[in-house]
Amino acid sequence: MSRIILVRHGQASWGKKDYDKLSDLGHEQAKVVGRELSERGISPTRVISGSMRRQRDTAADLVEAAGWPLETVSDSAWDEYGHAAILTAYKPAYRSLTLMKADLARTLRPHKAFDEMYAVATERWVAGQHAADYDEPFAVFGDRVLSGLPPVVENLGRGETVIVVSSAGAISWVTAALLGGGAPVWTQLQRVIANASLTTLSVGATGPTLRSFNDTTHLERSPDLLTTR
C-alpha cells in the first residue's frame, strides 16, 4: 500500500509582523518530525511543500534531520489561506496591527478575544455570502487545495511514500473532503490540528483514504513541543 503523509508546518511567528517565519520552537518541531519519520523506517521518494516560507523551511528542516538525500519541491496548491485577508475583510481597520493589538489589550484577555473575533471572521468567509470581499473565497481555496492531491496520487508508485508539508487549513480540507464532511467538519478539524502533526493517507486502487489524522505521538514526549498556534 502506498501512502501520503501530510505534515503541518512547525510553529510560525504568531502575533509577529512576519507570521510566515518559523519560531525557534517551530524549527525544533520540524526536526523532531524528521527524526521520528526516520526512526519509523520511512524513506520517502518525494518531499513536497507549499510555497510559503514556513512550509518550505519545515520541509528543509525535517529532510535534514531525517538524513534523506532528497531535494524538496514546492507546489502552491498546498499553500494556506490568507489569515490576514480574512480578518481585514471582516474588520478593515485591523489592517493596522498596532490598532488591533491595542483593541485586544483593552479586553484584558487578548488571546481569547482574538480567537473569538477570528472565529466569526472565518465563519463569514466560509459562508460564502461575501465572496467578492476576498481575493480567494472559501470555495476557491477548497478547489485549489484539492487540485494538489491528484498529481501526488497519480505519480505515486506501489509501496511508495510521499511527504507533503502544508498547513492546518489545507490538511483539514483534504481530510474533510475524504470524509465527505464539507465545511462544518473542516471548521472543527482545523481548530484542533497541532503544529508538526502527521496525517496519513493510504493510496490504493480506489484512490486515497484517510488512515490517521493529527498524530502527535512524537511531540507528546516533551510537553513544550505540542502547540496548535
Would residue 141 count as lying in a domain?
no
Q: Are 75 and 104 members of one domain?
A: no
SS (H, E, C) 127-175: HCCCHHHCCCCHHHHHHHHHHCHHHHHHCCCCCCEEEEEECHHHHHHHH
> In tens digits, what is the pLDDT along the chain, a chain of 229 residues?
899 999 999 999 766 666 789 999 999 999 999 999 999 999 999 999 999 999 999 999 999 999 999 999 999 999 999 988 999 999 999 888 888 889 889 988 988 998 899 899 999 999 999 999 999 999 999 999 999 999 999 989 889 999 999 999 999 999 999 999 999 999 999 999 999 999 999 999 889 999 999 999 999 988 899 998 8
The last residue of a domain, from among 114, 135, 156: 135
CATH number of the domain at 71, please: 3.40.50.1240
How far is Cα 47 from Cα 155, in angstroms, rounded to an integer?
A: 13
How far is Cα 158 from Cα 149, in angstroms, rounded to an integer?
A: 17
How far is Cα 26 from Cα 11, in angstroms, rounded to an integer?
A: 4
Q: Are 48 and 96 members of one domain?
A: no
